[in-house]
Structure 1
Amino acid sequence: MLERIREGSQGPLAMTIVGLIIISFAVTGVGSYLGSSTSEAAAVVNGEDITVQEVEVAYQNQRARMEQQFGEQIASAFANETYLANFKSQVLEQLISEKLVEQKANEMGLRVSDEQIKEAIFDIDAFKIAGQFDNDTFKAILQRQGFTAVSFRDYMRQQMTTEQLSTALTASSFSLEDEVAEVLKLQQQKRDAQTLEVNAADFAGDIELSDEEINDYYQANLSNFDTQEEVKLAYVSLSVEDLMANESVTEEEARQNYQDNIAAYQTIEERRVSHILIEFGDDEAAAESKAEAVLAMVNEADADFATIAAAESADIVSAEEGGDLDYIVKGDWSESFEEAVFGLEKVGDTTGLVKTEFGFHIIKLTDLKPQVTTPFEEVQEELTALLLKDKATDTFFSLQEEIASAAFESPDSLEEVSNISGRPIIQTAFFSSGNYPASVNYPQVENVAFSSELIDDKVNSDILQVNDEKILVVRVAEHKPQRTLALEEVKASITTQLSAEKTQQAALDWTEALKQKLLNGESVYDTLAAKSLEWNEVSGIERFASSLPSEMTKSIFSLAPAAGQDVDVVSLANGNVGLVKLTAVEAVDEIKAEDIEATLQGLANNNSRQSYDSFVAALVDEATIERITR
């Protein structure tokens, strides 16, 4: 077992998986996840702490990934206290599972060498430029995520060691081709049958239902007649969009803003240059003398700057391209270099000697992209809309304090809030806690709508911040507490339900008698004719076909092609009753190789997940785990 684990950790697949795992953490900021152990413990697993800090960072990482994937919808869900508590609990349980697997790997003596870690780091795409590992990129990412080279190495060692164990577990799951072929033969098998659907409504006339039966059903199922607590909310909503209709922007205002922010409507001047670099070396004077000689060569008639750069420049990267540095903009280069570049007047001009910290440069302007200003007329509409929104936003924030005060100082009404905001008071219909109307379907409302403060004290809510551009103030207009409906209120529905059950049972009894006749070899022609029924012949039925009611299809594939085992009665979801008789089985002799391969892979993946989950569950059962609540 141990040998298999060690061998599995060397394979390219394992290394790829590890790389994906590591970078998925690295790019979302888990540097502090490796942080100080002085944080309070959120859980203790076999004597080892999982700190509150670790849980918080893991929670923030997972939340960030979900918000990036699902957007505002999931972001608002985190405003719900119950959802948030459950989510954090799940994060803690995941960390406990990871800690147990890590402990088991260490117990088994699994190790990852420094060379393996180095190779894995070099293989992470986020650290590469043009397909090659770049040390500056590596250091920048680590610094941004709070890692040091040592802490990242230790984190990778932990992850890769754990991955050895999980890879060995999942790689040990397999299925035999013969077994898979037999399963596929059963799945692809087809059958012929006779079917019959007996309409339960035909037996309704034979049904009698007493008041005693209705009352007995009511008493036995009282909990089914409990109503849910309901509220009707009154609310005032205010958004930036609502306020935009009350604002205006003149052309003069738009033009002034355009002039004040003209840089936003201008492209940056770009200049493409080539250069020749003569480094200082140990003798700056000698370097300057050489640079002057090269400058003289450049200034000669018919001189080819690119050829001279290739032969003389110490910048070996640009020299291969004739000294080309591509396009540059101000702010990216040293002051003297930029001053010389942006002092050239036209394409083809060259500078004299330009001194920087790197040496002496001779610079040639090879192309020029001048600054371009977008005319006001082209951005006027967009700019006006932005200014309208800016004004509305200012008004929106200035009103919030007034609205908050009004909601608190006049707690028994929303009239003052409505007057200040200029927005109407709207009422919802009655709804239960699991069925919020769209207009108030926000986690912020869920947190207060059924609170004792709003229901019992009959006051306004605080301002509910739906998002940066919308607020609500709500109050409970009416309240219906939970109660048990009286028999008189539900008698009609009970009667309908019991009648349906009795009619189906009558149809079942009749169909069972019909089945018995078939098993006894008796003719059922007259019995069917009395109900205006006849057999439906169905051929080539597939196991997962939808041409028949699913109950019939399932029954047909459960029957055996032998006397006494080929007939069945089934209750149908529509309230009717079905009778099925298996008449033939169409076996599959050969299964395609590609079907076997696909199924093998699917079974292997499924078995791998189940094996790993079972392994972790066993570790949890055997472990000493203390979850610390605060």
Structure 2
Amino acid sequence: MESFRKLIKGWLGIVLLVLFLIPLALVGIEGYFSGSNKGDVAKKVNGQDISNKELDELVKSYQQQYLQYVQGDESLLNTDVIRESALNTLIARTLLLQQAGKLGIQMSDTQFVQMLSQLPDFQVNGKFSNEVFGNYLRSRGITKEALLANLKQDHALKMLTATASSYALTSKQGVENFVNLQSEQREIYLSSIKLDEYKKGITVSNQDIANYYEKHKNEFRRSASLDVDYVVVKPSMFAQTMPITDAELQQAYTQYVDAQKNNATKEVRHILITKDTRTDADALKLVNDVEAKIKAGLSFADAAKQYSEDPTSKAKGGLIAGYQVGTLGSTEFDDAVKLLKDNTVSAPVKTNFGYHIIDVKTDAVKIASFEQEKPQLQASLEKSKLANAYTDAVNGLNDAAVSADALDVITQQVKTATIQSAKNATLWTSNPYLSQPAVKAKLFNNEVKNGDRNISASITLANGETLWLKVRNYYPEGLQTLAQATDAIKTTVLNKKAAAVATAKIATTLEAFKTEPATQVLARSNIKFEKPALFSRQNLRKDIANVAFTQPVPKAGMWSVGTADLSDELVIVAVSKVDRDAFSKLTPEQVQQATKAYQQLRGEQELADYIDYLKSVAKIK
């Protein structure tokens, strides 16, 4: 998550990303059907254009990947940094393809035909079908030539990247060092010294604060924040019962019956006559002939098996398994199914695929009686009426509050509602109301940034509640002033001075650990350590791990000791034993897996270095 946060809004967002190589790999044949029209140029790489259309599509793909890490909250994504990452990826891809061309890495037409014939999407009964292939290309709006060019590019890219990344040189010693470093464990003793008692008598001057500010300005860069007041209104604050009339119940029952009938499962069969190998007139003549034979007594299923050119449904008597609206990607087909009565064969229906004859059977529907359904209808109507009454109440409150530009108008009318406040709220706030995307969109929009301090219109929350807000102060992203940072600096400097005093007090003991066995030092020291435990880097908080895993390996009976300053306490970190022998405990299979992982890591480094080299000699503008 730490590396991911660099993609998020805030001053950290300016940090450059590590190049994403995922789009350099084959992403499946569907990836080629996004069209080839280019917009204006985003970048030129050695004279070759990267269009803004290509860039926008990759940015959208990245955003979809990153949204899962922020629970779909798009306001937390830094679009500028994501766009920069996507552009770097497209530049790298372009450079690699250009290099592949220079090196003569390409797929022959024979290889292309062989690969294409092996793709299951284009096969019928295990064999390549020109008809299926043609239908597929037409439905995706791409020509065979464009597909050939894309596949050849992908092949060249895979060959070049594999050469750079899959054959990185490794050694047994390198793999051993890699495993031992990743798996290293250390036996660690910890002792905590609280700093409160050392703060007595320590003063922090204005000069101390100013000096610290000048030396550590980057620590005081802040994300945008604001002070805000808000009111939340809940449906439970209003009347909870609504009378339901008999007429309303009867109307609701009629709607229920209609819905049951409309939602009944349909068994849809069709016969497809394509225009792949014939003219439109010939296709229409053939489909009319088939329709006539069905009317003359030929069963629809037999006609489908004999005449249909849809390889998927042909053998099933034309049955389109699991048909739903949109299954065939044709509105003409779906409209015909909707209008067709049961046990009636349609007239020929024209779509992009050709001509269809359609047969529909609707499953029998079991409809509950009025008395059986009445309790559910009653509850549904009550819920709907309450929702409508709540909506009307919210609309009235909204008009009054916006007109007066005041939150207390709401609390005067809804006695159980209260005005709440938050100070220095950021995009990363954990406040259960202010953290909702719809609310953050109102808090951090351009109008607020430009000085708008009016009450917001009502905001509907995810749980159905309603919120109004009024921003009081807005603090833009950037460097805090000395005045704004003074309180935090004073606390920090005080803690550091106290830590220095505490460190000086135990300096003699810490020095003794360097030359004497730990038991002797402990025997005359008042420092009490917790029971030791075996830790890996991942099991310790970062600041303690940085101390523990940079200490030298101690000799037998000795400890390597350092200190970690955790602001309000000083932690003594003692390493008594280091286990760096993980490699010798691996099975042959695990060694093979570790070797593969190390080679992959080295390969990624090699490929990244290769791309950096290509960038260094390229003309990019």
- Inter-CA distance 603–457: structure 2 relative to 1 (3 Å threshold): closer
Q: Does 1:90 align with 2:85?
A: yes
Give the match for residue 435 of structure 2.
441
C-alpha displacement at 1:112, in angstroms? 1.3
The counterpart of 1:100, out of the listed 70, 95, 115, is 95
Q: Is the 8 A contact 2:264 2:362 kept in 1?
A: no
Counterpart of 1:21, as a letter, is V
The whole-number CA distance in structure 1 between the counterparts of 2:601 and 2:233 is: 50
- Inter-CA distance 144–416: structure 2 relative to 1 (3 Å threshold): farther
Unaligned runs of 5+ in 2: 1-22, 272-284, 324-332, 349-360
Matches within 5 A, 1:224-373: 231-236=226-231, 250=245, 252-260=247-255, 262-266=257-261, 268=264, 325=317, 342=343, 370-373=364-367
What is the SS of the residue equivalent to 2:406? coil
- Inter-CA distance 528–448: structure 2 relative to 1 (3 Å threshold): same
Superposed CA offset, 1:146-187 (max 9, x none): 433332232222222222211221221242345434665787
Counterpart of 1:506, as a letter, is K
Q: Does 1:604 align with 2:599?
A: yes
The whole-number CA distance in structure 2 between the counterparts of 1:203 and 1:235 is: 38
- Inter-CA distance 567–101: structure 2 relative to 1 (3 Å threshold): same
Name which one, 1 or 2, has greater alpha-carbon Rg.
1
Q: Does 1:42 align with 2:35?
A: no
The counterpart of 1:571, out of the listed 542, 563, 575, is 563
The whole-number CA distance in structure 2 between the counterparts of 1:41 and 1:532 is: 70
Counterpart of 1:568, as a letter, is S
The counterpart of 2:553, out of the listed 548, 555, 558, is 558
Identity fraction in percent: 17
Give the match for residue 503 of structure 2.
504
- Inter-CA distance 448–134: structure 2 relative to 1 (3 Å threshold): same
Q: Is the 8 A contact 2:229 2:422 kept in 1?
A: no
Counterpart of 2:420, as a letter, is Q
- Inter-CA distance 403–31: structure 2 relative to 1 (3 Å threshold): farther
Counterpart of 1:613, as a letter, is A
Matches within 5 A, 1:160-171: 160-171=155-166
Q: Does 1:623 align with 2:610?
A: no
C-alpha displacement at 1:619, in angstroms? 2.1
The whole-number CA distance in structure 2 between the counterparts of 1:487 and 1:177 is: 54
The whole-number CA distance in structure 1 between the counterparts of 2:185 and 2:473 is: 60
How does the TM-score come out when normalised to structure 1? 0.63
Counterpart of 1:150, as a letter, is E
The counterpart of 1:218, out of the listed 199, 209, 220, is 209
The whole-number CA distance in structure 2 between the counterparts of 1:153 and 1:585 is: 52
C-alpha displacement at 1:408, in angstroms? 6.1
C-alpha displacement at 1:505, in angstroms? 3.0
The whole-number CA distance in structure 2 between the counterparts of 1:444 and 1:102 is: 43
What is the SS of the residue equivalent to 2:50? strand
- Inter-CA distance 168–209: structure 2 relative to 1 (3 Å threshold): same
Q: Is the 8 A contact 1:265 1:374 kept in 2?
A: no
Unaligned runs of 5+ in 1: 1-16, 296-305, 344-353, 358-366
Matches within 5 A, 1:187-226: 211=203, 216-222=207-213
How does the TM-score come out when normalised to structure 2? 0.64
- Inter-CA distance 171–555: structure 2 relative to 1 (3 Å threshold): closer
Matches within 5 A, 1:51-90: 51-63=51-63, 73-74=71-72, 76-77=73-74, 79=75, 83-90=78-85
- Inter-CA distance 198–152: structure 2 relative to 1 (3 Å threshold): closer
- Inter-CA distance 342–269: structure 2 relative to 1 (3 Å threshold): farther
C-alpha displacement at 1:623, in angstroms? 2.0
- Inter-CA distance 104–403: structure 2 relative to 1 (3 Å threshold): farther
Counterpart of 2:562, as a letter, is V
Q: Is the 8 A contact 1:555 1:570 kept in 2?
A: no
- Inter-CA distance 379–608: structure 2 relative to 1 (3 Å threshold): farther
Q: Is the 8 A contact 2:427 2:435 kept in 1?
A: no
- Inter-CA distance 473–622: structure 2 relative to 1 (3 Å threshold): farther
Q: Is the 8 A contact 2:225 2:427 kept in 1?
A: no
Matches within 5 A, 1:143-182: 143-177=138-172, 179-181=174-176
- Inter-CA distance 554–83: structure 2 relative to 1 (3 Å threshold): closer
What is the SS of the residue equivalent to 1:515? coil
Give the match for residue 420 of structure 2.
427
- The alignment yields a C-alpha RMSD, in angstroms, of 5.9
The counterpart of 1:21, out of the listed 19, 27, 46, is 27
Counterpart of 1:571, as a letter, is T
What is the SS of the residue equivalent to 2:549? helix
Q: Is the 8 A contact 1:239 1:470 kept in 2?
A: yes
What is the SS of the residue equivalent to 2:28? helix
- Inter-CA distance 168–374: structure 2 relative to 1 (3 Å threshold): farther
Q: Is the 8 A contact 1:45 1:99 kept in 2?
A: yes
Q: Is the 8 A contact 1:22 1:156 kept in 2?
A: no
